[in-house]
Amino acid sequence: MKIQFKVPSMNDSSECGQAITRAVAGVDPDASVAADPESKLVKVETGESSNTSEEALKKAVEAAGYPVE
């Protein structure tokens, strides 16, 4: 499953992308994460066998301190 989130509070700091990646890995360790601070987009790709919902991924990103639009 491919999911894209708009994260307006993400900045150019590598810490933002790392924090978001860790948050997603906490709910789906096999997910691939690409955080682009310039476009404020986070793209997540889960494996075919993943049972992780879009809502669970969104909540994980928000719990890391990055509200999702």
Domains in the chain with CATH codes = 2-63 (3.30.70.100)
DSSP label of 34: E
Q: Which residues contact 66 (CB under 8 A, 6 or more apart)?
A: 7, 9, 10, 16, 19, 20, 23
Mean per-residue pLDDT for 45-58?
Answer: 92
Question: Cα separation of 16 and 40, whole Å?
Answer: 11
Looking at residue 48, its pLDDT comes to 84
DSSP label of 1: -
The string of pLDDT tens digits covering residues 4-45 is 999 999 988 779 999 999 999 999 999 999 999 999 999 999
